[in-house]
Structures are given as C-alpha cells and as structure tokens.
Amino acid sequence: MLITNHVLSGALVGAVSPGPASAFALGVVSHAVLDSVPHWGDESIFLPVAVVDGLVGLATLGAVARAAGPEPRARVVAGMLGACLPDADKPSNLFFGRSPFPSAVDLWHQQIQRESPRRLPQEFVVALAGALLVRRALSSGVSRRG
C-alpha cells in the first residue's frame, strides 16, 4: 500500500479517536488492515515509486495536519504517524541496512502483504477516496469532540 494511503487512513482514524494515544494505536492497526487488503506492489520499480510516494505522503501529512484545526490536530497527527510507523522498516533497511523492528514483526508484516504489480491504478482510487473522506470528516465536524 502506498504510504500516502496509510497517511489518509491514519487521519480518518485520528479524526474519530478519543485521544492521541488511541489514535496512534488505531493508526498502527489501520496499517495492518490496509496491508492485508490486496494492493499494489512491484519490487522492480518499488524505489522510484516509493520516493515520490514518500514525498507526497509527507506533504499530505503536513496539509492534513494544518487543515485539521487546533482541536483535533493532535489526534489526527497521532493517527497518521501510527499508520505510517510499520513502514519505517523500508527506509531503515535502505539507509542503515537493517529494520528497527524485531525480525518477528518484519516477518509478520511481510506475510500479511497481498501485493500485485497490476494494482497501481487501485492505489490512486483509494488515495482519492481517502482524501475526500478526510476532507469531509474534517469539514463536517466528525472530528469535533464536545
């Protein structure tokens, strides 16, 4: 799954969570759920796509954090960070030659993947739907707590 889609799912989780800690934890869970759904993956072109997606994901995180407003911002950012955390193994492996996670966690993360090189268009549809849902959640007051 593209990291941008994890960012967007984490934003949704954060918008409806009661606090930052639960948003972070549920963001991690959302990562596992998305990775277990059939999605794009192609080792032959992974790195060029990952660089662009990483930059888009970072920009999306910043834009959503700003759009969230002061009240839900901590929850939304925590959800996004939790949703992205499990993929910290990829840049860590690239730059440092090892994952920051125990090998059992990395093995589990690899085993839940349902990847195919034919699913890249699906990733863009998921991103568009996620962006629209996040926009709606933040503008409609779904994320407001009374």
15 phi/psi in degrees, rounded to 5: -65, -30
Instruction: Judge whether 72 lies within some domain.
Output: yes
What residues of the chain score a pLDDT lower than 70?
142-146
Task: Note the Cα 98 to chain centre separation in Å.
Answer: 21
Alpha carbon dihedral 51, 127, 106, 91, in 10-degree steps, equals 20
Enclosing domain of residue 63: 3-140
Model pLDDT, residue 142:
67
Instruction: Judge whether 122 lies within some domain.
Output: yes
Instruction: Judge whether 101 lies within some domain.
Output: yes
Number of domains in the chain: 1
Instruction: Judge whether 63 lies within some domain.
Output: yes
40 phi/psi in degrees, rounded to 5: -75, 145
Instruction: Judge whether 15 lies within some domain.
Output: yes
Model pLDDT, residue 146:
42
Model pLDDT, residue 140:
80
Instruction: Judge whether 145 lies within some domain.
Output: no
What is the distance between the alpha carbons of residues 94 and 8, in angstroms, rounded to a whole number? 24
Give me the residue label for tokens 């939790």: 82
Instruction: Judge whether 91 lies within some domain.
Output: yes
What is the distance between the alpha carbons of residues 89 and 37, in angstroms, rounded to a whole number? 20
Model pLDDT, residue 58:
97
